[in-house]
Structure 1
Amino acid sequence: MAQNADDAALDGRRPVPELHLAGGAAEGSRRPDAGAEQLPPDRHQAILEATKQVAALLKRQGHDFALAGSVAVYAHGGAGSLQHDADFCIRPEDAEAVAATLEDAGLTVYAPPEDWLLKAKCLGQDVDLIFGLAHGPVSTELLGRARELSVDSVQMPVLAPTDLLRSLLAAFSEHHCDFGAVLPIARLLREKVDWGQIRREFGDIPMPAAFLYLLERLDVIAPQGGDQ
């Protein structure tokens, strides 16, 4: 899982922890996937292959989306073994069309009890199609800020660093507050994040504010009012 790393290694790739995006971690019922026996030899590569396949389908049909979660961290330079799932942000109004695209390609798509996402199965891996975050629905503006990055040699839009961190901080609550998973991501992205925006949005919310204070004490970011 997530490990703290020395500042001297900041230019290297970071471990990629399992992440919970704002909106919670849906555990809806899992459906078997007939393609599971065709998985790549390890879970990490299986998740990457599923990510690439879903992204290719969405791109081919012209859907707006952005990669999120652990695989987005990987795309921004994170390292380590992916073990959870692939997350994609889509707009609420596009959910039905996106589901139809994946179903037409032979993927299983279903709605869990949570009302802020759809789930799919691809190459035996879970894929979350997220259209609602804790700070509001996925918007055209959010997707418009995504950056085209290479994910295992396939170009796709990935949540911008500030938006990626916002999605993780917004998930903090009294019931879920895993600073250890998000700390290495903040270290990785610290030169790319608009910390002023993060402070304006989360500085008065107890759990994110505590995390920002931790980042200051660890010299990951400058104290408020200092050089960022």
Structure 2
Amino acid sequence: MSAVDSGSEAAGLMDRMYRFQRHIYDATRKFYLLGRDGLIAELKPPPGGTVLEIGCGTGRNLIKIAQRYPHTLCYGLDVSEEMLRTAREQVAKAGLADRITLAQADATSFDPQALFGRTGFERVVVSYALSMIPPWREALAQAMRVVAPGGSLHIVDFGDQAHLPAPFRAVLNRWLALFHVTPRKDLEAVVTDLCAETGVIGGTTRLFGGYSVQAVATRPA
């Protein structure tokens, strides 16, 4: 399926959680969703290229991408219609409705042709979404599939926290659990395995003592 029935379990859970949070989401998350702006700075899509964000939420990243790279077309999908309501409002407010297209869809099984009229994108972004998607490996594989030849997949999410103090890790994980967030401690290994299986060139970088992990995977032209 490309689109998600608003009554589906995943969509319903996210809509209930974000129905009110969406109004303060960006103001509160900027303090702990680290590495997002670094990812955006490194995207460097080609002129006339396309950027897809999977799990676009309020549209915060897409707006920054569209502003930083004015010769690109941007696309975003999210399972939560509540978050997309805010995203549409923010995109319109920024005057970018002609360059950012949004759709409700499941990250594990969306059809980019049906949603956006495209089969692939020069840049695909997944920012702090895998830690909220239970079948996250399927979502990661789907993200890799829609990278166009010569394009790249860019990921940032919570890491294994290996070099952070134990008390801080305990508090952090209790806090994240309140929002149905589960750090994928084997994200680096899964990305490495997926790159090997699909013949793409990839690598991962730990940020802030393992608080976050960033990954880039490039498909040969």
- Return the TM-score normalized by structure 1: 0.30
Identify the structure with bigger relative contact order (alpha carbons < 8 Å, sequence gap 6+): 1
Bigger strand fraction: 2
